[in-house]
């Protein structure tokens, strides 16, 4: 079950609602491949076809998109066998994003005046 997080800035009142974690349907590798860009999708589909029980870790994670100056949630996948990680692109503009560990450690991408804050607003799936 995933968590819905509200990330906000106290200086400019910007706020983002982000779905983090993963849902029921994300337990199978075949179900998450389409969340990634086409070239990554191909690699993952190939991997899923070759491994009957692929060991992986999947979750939507918070990220900052410099292009949109916003906080987004992107799919992030780690394959244990090859120790390879894949991160999706910004859902709004399709550009690369930077994962953030904690919103309280980055400054607001809009006004850059204060560090971001966040709290849980609910659950999804």
Give, in degrees to the nearest 5, the angle at Cα 57 between 6 and 18: 10
Tell me the window of 23-31, 46-54, 73-81, 87-95 that interacts with Zn ion (CB under 5 A): 87-95
Q: Name which position in 43, 59, 100, 110 contacts Zn ion (CB under 5 A).
A: 110
Q: Is the CB of 48 or the CB of 103 nearer to Zn ion?
A: 103
CA trace torsion 47, 53, 57, 58 (10° rounding): 70
84-87 β-sheet, strand order? 84-87, 70-79, 56-65, 98-99
Site for Zn ion contains 9 (CB under 5 A): yes
For residue 75, which of 93, 60, 95 has the smallest C-alpha distance?
Answer: 60
Question: Which of the ranges 15-23, 43-51, 80-88, 90-98 carries the binding residues for Zn ion, by CB under 5 A?
Answer: 90-98
DSSP 32: H
Nearer to Zn ion, 87 or 90 (CB): 90
CB of 34 to Zn ion, least distance (A): 19
Contact positions vs Zn ion (CB under 5 A):
9, 11-12, 14, 65, 67-68, 90, 92-93, 108, 110-111
């Amino acid at each position: 079950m995933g968590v819905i997080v509200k990330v906000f800035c106290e200086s400019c009142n910007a706020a983002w609602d982000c779905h983090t974690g993963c849902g029921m349907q994300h337990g199978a590798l075949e179900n998450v491949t389409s969340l990634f860009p086409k070239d990554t999708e191909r690699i993952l589909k190939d991997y899923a076809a070759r491994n009957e029980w692929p060991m992986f870790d999947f979750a939507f994670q918070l990220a900052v998109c410099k292009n949109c100056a916003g906080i987004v949630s992107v799919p992030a996948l780690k394959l244990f066998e090859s120790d390879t990680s894949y991160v999706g692109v910004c859902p709004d503009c399709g550009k690369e994003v930077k994962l953030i560990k904690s919103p309280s450690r980055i400054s607001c991408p809009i006004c850059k005046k204060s560090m971001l804050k966040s709290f849980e607003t609910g659950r999804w799936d």
